[in-house]
Chain A
Amino acid sequence: MLKTFLIGIKDVRLAFRDRAALILMLAAPFVLTIGLGLVTGRFSSNTSSGISDIPVIIVNLDNDQLGNALADVFNSTDLADLLEPTTGSDSEAARKSIDEDKAAAVVIIPEGFTISIIPQQSDFANGNVVAADPVKIEVYANPSRSTGAGIVKAIVDEFLNRVEEGRISDTTSIEQLMFSGRITPQQALAAGSAASLDNQTASPASTLAVKINSSTANGDAVKFDALAYIAPAMALMFLMYTVSYGGRSILAERAQGTLPRLLVSPTNTAQILGGKVFGIFLTGTAQMLILIGASSLFFQLKWGDPLGVIVLVLAAVFGATGWGMVITAIARTSAQVANIGMSITLIFGIMGGSFINLEQMPSFVQMFSKITPNAWALDGFTTLGLGGTLTDLSAPILALVSMGSILFLVSVALFGKKNLVQK
């Protein structure tokens, strides 16, 4: 156990002394983050966001004060960059366009929505302030555009929260329920994180009815920062480089004679291989933490819940290490590991959403992305960046840990057939 640890530490030290490795582990993701940040205008204005023009269909069957107010929120100029609303009149037709992937979500405001919430003057006279069960607003979400749908749902939630606040504080004035300017895109995005997670865990294409006392919305105004997507995307892409570098070092130690030397010392094979794996894991973790620290320091980037960030980093590095081991087990020479590692770094980077948001990718890419640690971890980091916490990360963490475990078993099976000693 101690030797496993010592071998791992030795490998971290070696990795951080290798200039070529440092460039790819730290400098490349950092510089790319700056470059892509400049492209998205992160450093020139602070209102930009990584997500824009979410297609949403508003079907307002209420046509009364509150229904119109919600429709106005969706059409407000504040949200013009974020949303691309269209108005529909037929809820069935609107649902159909979701099924055809033409929009991220449909918001159906049912008939009688206003009446169900705002008591009529006559009720007041009777002292009957509490209304009957409110009519539910329906957000029909597109499962393949979970972030967009989550944001739409969050806006509705936020709206309903304000309505609820108004009801609780016994305010019935319609003016106070007119929300222009009260919901900012930032708030909507902040709320969207938690909501988008809910959508992922729900069964696909299920209809999500938003209840009036929904409390998923996060009231804090968290600014969604384009870098909150770009920085983890780049870090994760080059994490794949790091794990392949670590895998490569197993074969390199064989070629340079240090592995045979370890094997003739009073150290058993399990301790040695364990140490190598531990070294990959430690190096990857150190890389991620340094990149996270650097972007927090230099770009004032808020990564979100620290506990969530740490657990997610560990899970992501674990999943990626699994890939590093499989690559090593397949390859014959360290040069081969380097080549396969480079390809996987790029392929996983692109297919895992490091450059283009997965929601804008064809569905086969979205399917493929599920085998990459990049996609899962990026999903988790986005959630955290939008204000989510560790509790919202169960899906990506579970996926990453399972991925790592399965890949370890595969690599052990492959290593078993391979002679570690002879070249």
Chain B
Amino acid sequence: MSAILQVQNLVKNYGDFKAVKGVSFSIEEGEIFSLLGPNGAGKTTTISILSTLYMPTSGDTTIGGHSITKDPMGVRGIIGVVPQDLALYEDLTARENLIFWGQMYNLSGKSLTTRVDEVLEQIGLTDKAKDRVKTYSGGMKRRVNIGVGLLHKPRLLFMDEPTVGIDPQSRRAILDTVKDLNNQGMTLLYTTHYMEEAEELSHRVGIIDHGEMIAIGTQKELTQQVGEAETLILHIGENDDSEALAKTLKDIQGVQQATAVDHEVSVVCDEAEDVLAAVVTKANDRGIKIRSIDIREPNLEAVFLHLTGRALRD
């Protein structure tokens, strides 16, 4: 396998603000690489630079042998981009959108219409192709947004949080599409802040936080960093103070980390069975009722918690 994309020391400043602070990684031909990070981590900024929309403040990247700074036009023919926010003409139909964007990717004539039909089939919108996009549900719009990125069969597809804010069914469909595309040989760079998506899809994951790549590798390699640790997820009542509970739980012997997110407290520990009793007692002492407890094997959430002391979704 060879690298289709090679990022070297990418830096992006917005004025004084450092959004990306020297990120390096590479993506092998044929893999799904996920960029996992919380809101504001710098995922969209990174993708915008890699797709030649912004110039990096410093550093460079080669994609299929073309430099994003020296030969952006060469890069654009190889990549497809599915932006985080919908980028469609709402007053055009799905079909008209696909035709127009296909033309912008230098498709024309018969090959354009055939390809548009294929893509409509792929995103499951053949029946609705003649309706204006503005009449679509959020999930359908997302699918058109993805379809536009597929028209010219890019070797490398960037997908920036394509499942944000949609129903579970559409989300499922999108994740399946991503796997299909990869099975057909497309390389993907997928960004998300959902740990489960990164776990399900990716061959390798880069964890990004505050503009820095804090960990990179296969899931196995990453979870090994937390050792054999397990995570307890405590679901508590709406009126209970999860922050305060998390704080007291950290004092328990064998607990590595405890973090509060909404009405959940995540507890990273060496061995779940050893700390369970102590956790329940502490909660009872504070008058907090635990509604249910999940025990999870080491996962990416735990890795993030371990590395940053924070939960992914905060």
Contacts and interface: CB of A to CB of B under 8 A. Distances in A.
A396 B52 CA distance: 45
Interface in B40-56: 48, 51-54
A130 interface: no
Given A264-B52, A266-B77, A258 B92 contact: no
Most buried by B among A3, A18, A257: A257
Q: Categorize the interface residue count of chain B.
A: 20 to 34
Given A14-B89, A421-B53, A262 B104 contact: yes
A421 B86 contact: no
A14 B89 CA distance: 8
A265 B106 CA distance: 9
Nearest to B83: A257
Contacts of B52: 263-264
B81 interface: yes
A261 B83 contact: yes
Nearest to A272: B104
Given A13-B92, A266-B73, A261 B54 contact: no
A258 B24 CA distance: 29
Nearest to B88: A258
A265 B152 CA distance: 10
B153 to A, nearest CB: 14
B91 A18 contact: yes
A258 B100 CA distance: 11
A7 to B, nearest CB: 8
Interface in A48-97: none
A256 B104 CA distance: 17
Contact of A6 (B83, B85, B87, B100): B100
B143 to A, nearest CB: 16
B148 interface: yes
A16 to B, nearest CB: 10
Contacts of B92: 10, 13-14, 17
Interface string B92-119: 1000100011011110000000000000
B76 interface: yes
A3 B103 contact: yes
A6 B103 contact: yes
A265 B101 contact: yes
A267 B73 CA distance: 8
B54 A421 contact: yes
Contact of A261 (B77, B81, B132): B81
Contacts of A266: 73, 76-77, 104-106
Nearest to B81: A264
Contacts of B103: 3, 6
A394 interface: no
A6 B96 CA distance: 12
Contact of B91 (A14, A262, A264, A267): A14
A261 B54 CA distance: 12
A264 B51 contact: yes
Nearest to A260: B53
Nearest to A256: B87
Contacts of B87: 256-258, 260-261
Given A18-B91, A264-B76, A267-B104, 7 more contacts: A6-B100, A6-B103, A17-B92, A260-B53, A261-B81, A263-B52, A264-B52
Shortest 9 CB-CB contacts between residues of A and residues of B: A257-B87, A261-B87, A266-B76, A265-B104, A17-B91, A264-B51, A258-B87, A257-B85, A6-B103
28 contacts: A3-B103, A3-B104, A13-B92, A14-B89, A14-B91, A17-B91, A17-B132, A18-B91, A256-B87, A257-B83, A257-B86, A257-B87, A258-B88, A261-B83, A261-B148, A262-B104, A264-B52, A264-B53, A264-B79, A264-B81, A265-B76, A265-B101, A265-B104, A265-B105, A266-B77, A267-B104, A421-B54, A422-B54
Interface of A: 3, 6, 10, 13-14, 17-18, 256-258, 260-268, 421-422
